[in-house]
Every structure is written in structure tokens, then in C-alpha cells.
Amino acid sequence: MRDGGGSCQERCSRLWRTLREVCDDEGVEKTSVPRTARQRARAEITGEIIAAARRQLAAEGAPSLSLRAVARDLGMVSSAVYRYVSSRDDLLTLLIVDAYDALGEAVELAEGRVGRGRLAARFAAACRAVREWALANPNEYALIYGSPVPGYVAPESTIGPASRVSAVLLQVLLDAVAADLLTPAADGDAIAPAAASALVPLRAVVPPELPPALLQRALLVWTALFGTVSFELFGQLHNVVAETPAARAAFFDECVRRWTAIVGIAVPAAPARRGQAGRTGR
Amino acid sequence: MRDGGGSCQERCSRLWRTLREVCDDEGVEKTSVPRTARQRARAEITGEIIAAARRQLAAEGAPSLSLRAVARDLGMVSSAVYRYVSSRDDLLTLLIVDAYDALGEAVELAEGRVGRGRLAARFAAACRAVREWALANPNEYALIYGSPVPGYVAPESTIGPASRVSAVLLQVLLDAVAADLLTPAADGDAIAPAAASALVPLRAVVPPELPPALLQRALLVWTALFGTVSFELFGQLHNVVAETPAARAAFFDECVRRWTAIVGIAVPAAPARRGQAGRTGR
DNA sequence: TGTACATCAGTGAACGCGCGTTCACTGATGTAC
DNA sequence: TGTACATCAGTGAACGCGCGTTCACTGATGTAC
């Protein structure tokens, strides 16, 4: 298991902690320090199973992930894996949680490196971190944001980790609201009543400083962000945006600039930063 | 095979025909009227194979699509299918082309039903048609816009049909430009040079009336559209937007309204149409 | 029009593979007296 | 501290399944003389 964000206590957004409380009523399994040799071994081997599964996922993709291959990779007999994982679906769940956590952590770290007052830069860093993590881990990304595995139903334990990225983005918005740095869209920022009430589930979990119209803007950008990353990763930009990494990064940066404006965060004067998209600061 | 848009001669966008010419250098297989009984039977059974595959796809999803199951469904022996389809990948390609064509046709029809001058309504009709087709055919949608099947590489023959939806959307933009009805975004509509040159592949296939900055806006909306539909279909809106069909439709309609503004098409005065999302006119 | 041959659709058996999951078992690790 | 029992990790074999693909074959449909 990756460490999953236990190390970012002070940086970790208030919002994420709130969401965590909401979602973590069950399934927290106290990971107290293991004592006996057996417990230690069990924890270690469980970790190795997940690591092997992740390797296989990265190499072959989710559809051809198999318990037998994982066992083979570890030099175990296939039935032995059942001491640690109750079924293939269970292993899938572990990987899904793991992927959400890895992405969430990457985004939190990237966004956390930017000065708190630089809201546009924080937003951009988060967006870029999503894309970069996805490019570096395409199969893990596809596992969580691609087509659902038929017959698999994600258990409750996935929804906490799944919300980490959104929590970061929303926290940026919250801070912008608090600092009064959000430019409301000139017109059309009134939201249809039906649309406002459609957002009830989200509003139940988000502070009231974020009014429906702002949430709507945020959701629009949220879906656009993942839509763009998915399109790039899934080959839909073929023959549309040039294939070179630089061109892809430039296209994405341009999207980020516009999303920033759409969501209402003031964009700094400099038109667009050139060169590597990997930089988060400056 | 679905009929694939041969019937919309006058409505079918100029742009789509242009793209078609660009893409159809090869792989057109003259479907002249079959003469002999053998040829007739062959065409018919090929159709039945695709229909059976589509049924299986709809029922089980792409990952568990198998030649043997298709054969079983048709009462044939599995090896007989190889008279019509050279491999499983070949069958997948047929289904992919079929799905793109079905979606493209649905969008063309919906958009074609709206009066030419009502640009915002045409745009909205196209967006809604995408969503409705996706909701009605989730597995076909996942096949073309979900995670790519590992190891499968889409052949050239898919890229023509894949561009039908974009062609409709771009045609709306073209008409808006021609009628001088596009409101340029107040600020930030200058595009970074690197981003402009990233769009070279798209610009090669699109009339010069569409400048880079406008294309960028169009792409942003394009990815947002499919990102939103994918999120809804793939379960990412769980706990965010209420689950009822009405709430989902209201959320989507609100997105459409904003995309319309983002892309620069003037939105009519009426704030939002209420009731069924299925209506395209009025 | 009639025969001889070529083409082709569909059969049935087989090859070789991988999968998830169960089950009785062995030996090592832990625990209670 | 030492023994008796319980717990648990890992083995190896098996069940039952489905898959893609090949191949020699049969019989029907088409074609050329």
C-alpha cells in the first residue's frame, strides 16, 4: 500500500478531512503496529500482493489482471493468494483505492508546493498533476476513470479516496471565496432551479460558502479536466492535437488557462508560461 | 450494419463530407447491390453476425465479447464465423465503426431537426443527442469513448466515422461565424503560440474561417461534453448530482447552457427550458 | 441445356491455453495451562 | 520452562469453464465449356 496521505497533516485541506469523516464511518481497519511475526509477515505479503498486482495492471491493463498471474509473480501457488484476498473483485477494489490514493496524493503534493495566496497557480498545479499522474500511470487511470468493469460494483471504501482530487480543487475555490478573489461570471451565472436542486448531494458535503452557481462552474471544470485527460490518454486527440509531448502539454496548459477563467479565478497577467509543463511553481 | 447516414444528403454537413473525403482514401469496399444468392446470403449473415455481436455487447460489455458466443447466438459452429470475420479484433473494429456511425447519425438527425438559424438550439440538440445515445447504449459508448481495449489498435477505417459528431459541432460553429453570431470571449481569447501550433492537425482538416482561438474554445467544449457524459455513465457523479433522471438531465442542460456561452454562441433570453430533456425543438 | 470442375459455407473435432475457486493436506507459528 | 492444542500460511491437485484459432472434411452453389 502506498502511504496514502498520512504525512500531509498540516497541508491537507480541511475539506478533505471533512469528506473523510463523512465517508469513513466504516471500513477503517485500525492499522496498529503489528506485533507477532505472523502479523508482520501477513502485512508484508499483503503489500507484496498489491505491488505485484499493480505491476501487472501497469503492464497488461485491468481486463487481464488475474489472481493466478499475481501468485505466479510472487512464486506462490494460486490458492495461497486467497489467504490474503477473498476474490478477484476484492483485489480490484484494493487497486482502485490504491490508485485513487496515489492520484490524490500526487495532486495534494503538487498543489501544496504552491504559495497559498497564488490561487490560479494552485489550481493549475492541481490540474497538471492530474494529467501527469495519468500519463505516468495510464492503466491505473483507466481503472478508475475509464469504463467500469462489467459486473464489478465499487464498495463504499472507494468513495473516500475518490474524492481527494475534488477536495483539493474545491479547497482552492473556498480559499478564493474567502479571499474575495473570485470574479463572478458577467452573465449567465444564475443557475436554473432544477439544476440547483440536482446538486443537493454535493451541497450536503460542501461548505455553504460555495453557492450552487459556483458549484456548477466547478463541476463543469471538473468534468472538463478529466474529459481532456481521458481524451488524451484514450487516443481521442489523434489527428486533432499534434502528438508530441510538447504540443500536448501546450494544449493542456491552454485548457487550464481557460478553465481558470471559467471557474472565476483571476488569471495573472503573463499570457502563458512556456516550456516544460512539469513545473508547478513560478 | 446500420445504414450509416446515406439518407441525409442535403442536411449532412459540408464539413463531414470534407472529412469523409480526407479519410476515405482506402477501405471503402463498394457495397454494390449483391447479385448471386451466395453474395446475398453472405451480406445477410454478415449483418446477423454484427447484430448478434451488438446484442452481446449491449448485454455483457466489450470485455466479454467473444466470437464463440456470437456463433452460439446464431446457431453456428464457432469456426464458421471465420468465413465472415477474420479475428476477434476484426469484429471489434466492425462494432466500433458501427457505434461511431450510430452515434453520429443520432446527433446529425437531432441537430438536423432544428431550424438552421437557431444556432444555440442546434448546438444544444447535438449535445443532448450525444448524452441520450450514450444513456441508451452505454456499452457501445464505453467501447468508443471508454478505456481502450489493451492490445487492440484501431485501424484507419474508424477515424472517418469517429469524426461525425465533431463535424456536426464544428458545422454549427462555422454557420455561426458565417452569420456573424459568435460573441468573442471578452478577454483571454488570445491563444498561446505553442497552443496554436499544437492544433495544426485539426486546422489541416477544418476551414480557415475557424481561427485557432475559436478551435481551442471548441475543443474545450468538446472534451467537456464527452467528459460529462462519461462521468455520468461511468458513475463518477455518484454522490455529486442526484441520481434521478430528471436531476441528471437538469444538470446536463445547465452544462449545455454554459458550454454554449463558452463557445461563444449567443444564448437566447429564456433562462432554461424546463421539463423533459428529450425535446430538441422549441 | 448438360456436364465437369471450382468455389465457398458450414461442420466437428481438436489444440493449447488461462482463468477463479475449492478442498484436503502439511508443517510452522502462536497460545494456554 | 515445557507440553498440548489451536491457529494459520502455503501446497498441490482438481473441477469446470470459456476462449481464439486451425484443419481436414462434406455438401451445396456457381461457372465454363
The pLDDT of residue B187 is above 90: no
Q: How close B65 comes to chain A (CA, Å)?
A: 11
Instruction: Kindly calculate the radius of gyration of chain A based on its CA atoms and give it in whole angstroms.
Output: 20
- Asked whether the beta carbons of residue A198 and residue B250 sit closer than 8 angstroms, the reply is yes
The pLDDT of residue B171 is above 80: yes
pLDDT of amino acid B17 = 53
pLDDT of amino acid A68 = 97
Q: Three-state SS for B182?
A: strand
pLDDT of amino acid A48 = 97
Closest-CA residue of B relative to A160 is B239
Query: Nucleotide D21: nearest residue by CA–C1'?
Result: B79
B244-278: pLDDT as tens digits: 999 999 999 999 999 999 999 987 655 444 444 43
pLDDT of amino acid A186 = 52
Q: How close A33 comes to chain B (CA, Å)?
A: 34
The answer, as to whether pTM is greater than 0.75, is yes
Alpha helices, DSSP H, located in B146-237: 159-162, 164-178, 193-198, 200-203, 212-233
Count Cα neighbours of A185 within 13 Å in the Cβ-side half-sphere: 21
CB A192 within 8 A of CB A139: no
CA-nearest of A94, A45, A37 to A74 is A45
pLDDT of amino acid B51 = 97
- C-alpha–C-alpha distance, residues B10 and B6, integer Å: 10
* Range ranked top by mean pLDDT from B8-12, B47-51, B183-187: B47-51
pLDDT of amino acid A16 = 55
- Pairwise pLDDT comparison (B102 vs A22), residue with the higher score: B102
- Asked whether the beta carbons of residue A272 and residue B146 sit closer than 8 angstroms, the reply is no
Average pLDDT, chain B: 86
pLDDT of amino acid A29 = 41
The pLDDT of residue B30 is above 50: no
Lowest mean pLDDT among A190-194, A228-232, B6-10, B219-223: B6-10
Residue A38 contacts strand C, CB under 7 A: yes
For every residue of chain A, DSSP letters joined together read: ----STT-TTTS-HHHHHHHHHHTTS-----PPP-SHHHHHHHHHHHHHHHHHHHHHHHH-GGG--HHHHHHHHT--GGGGGGT-SSHHHHHHHHHHHHHHHHHHHHHHHHHTS-TT-HHHHHHHHHHHHHHHHHHSHHHHHHHHSSPPTT----GGGHHHHTHHHHHHHHHHHHHHHTT-B---SSS-S--HHHHHHTHHHHTTS-TTS-HHHHHHHHHHHHHHHHHHHHHHTTTTTTTS-SSHHHHHHHHHHHHHHHHHHHTBPPPSS----S-S-----
Per-residue pLDDT tens listing for chain A (282 residues):
454 433 343 344 555 555 555 444 333 344 455 578 889 999 999 999 999 999 999 999 999 999 999 999 999 999 999 999 999 999 999 999 999 999 999 999 999 999 999 999 999 999 999 999 999 999 999 999 999 998 899 999 999 999 999 999 999 999 999 998 888 655 557 899 999 999 999 999 999 999 999 999 999 999 999 999 999 999 999 999 999 999 999 999 999 999 999 999 987 655 444 444 434 333
DSSP state for residue B266 in the 8-state scheme? P
Block residue for cell numbers 446538486: A199
Q: What percent of chain B has pLDDT over 90?
A: 74
pLDDT of amino acid B33 = 57
CB B143 within 8 A of CB B102: no
For strand D, the positions having any atom within 7 A of a protein Cβ are: 8-14, 18-24, 29-31
CA dihedral A28, A33, A38, A41 (to 10 degrees): 80
pLDDT of amino acid A92 = 96
Query: Nucleotide D12: nearest residue by CA–C1'?
Result: A77
The pLDDT of residue B134 is above 50: yes
Find which of B143, B147, B169 to mutate to test the A interface (most A CBs within 10 Å of its CB).
B147
- C-alpha–C-alpha distance, residues A201 and A205, integer Å: 7
